[in-house]
Homo-oligomer: A and B are copies of this chain.
Amino acid sequence: MSAPEQISSTMGAFIALIKRDLMLSYRHRNELLNPLLFFVIVVTLFPLGVSPEKQLLQTMAPGVIWVAALLAAMLSLDTLFKSDYEDGTLEQMMLSPHSNAVLVLAKIISHWLVTGVPIILMAPLLGLFMFLPWDGIAALMLTLLLGTPVLSLVGAIGMALTLGLNRGGMLLSLLVLPLYIPVLIFSASAVDASMAGLDINGQLYFLGALLVLSITLAPLAAATSLKISVE
């Protein structure tokens, strides 16, 4: 195959993979909603477990919502490569003539579309529920928009590393959470700052830099790890 032909065929596989993953999620419609439901449930546990007081909830809101988003993203990673690994599809992906990193990126993108995006859309409602002011909600959505893709990308590396391991689920959290923590800290502090009327550009730049870094590195790292896991 000539080079441009090769590229267009890789693009074809890229799109086919995204389409297939979305179709799979659609077939599991009830599970499509699951990370979202988990997100909602975790957030609602706090007024129950801690206290329904308005002042306290408002203080806790940015942190709690972000922790919930983080946990939801982390737990939904399970659907990222696991089933492909178990039924041998991943082997076939590694054997395909296309760049593995591109295929991995396709999978990460469709994962973000079905987990990250619903969380972003749901966040304002939960913000209101936790008495967050409008400024805070806007900052929350911005940080989620920049942060959730990072969670999917970094999570993909962790997932790829722990894939071959029996019951690697919890090892995954050990690997991935430390890398998630910077995202959490910066995002929550951005929301806090915006509520106090401060400037949040610094935090947003940091999140943006993380996003760019992880978009360039994560597919490669994940593809490498997948190769190891398949072996």
Contact = CB atoms under 8 A, between A and B. Distances in A.
B170 A34 contact: yes
A42 interface: yes
Nearest to A45: B67
Interface in A27-43: 28, 30-31, 34-35, 37-38, 41-42
Nearest to A169: B78
A34 B166 contact: no
A49 B62 contact: yes
A24 to B, nearest CB: 9
Contacts of A185: 48-49
A46 B67 contact: yes
Given A67-B42, A177-B41, A49 B171 contact: no
Main secondary structure of the interface of A (DSSP, over half): helix
Interface stretch (A69-77, A197-205, A215-223): A69-77
A118 interface: no
A131 to B, nearest CB: 15
A58 B37 CA distance: 28
Given A71-B71, A75-B169, A63 B49 contact: yes
A173 interface: yes
A125 interface: no
A79 to B, nearest CB: 6
A9 interface: no
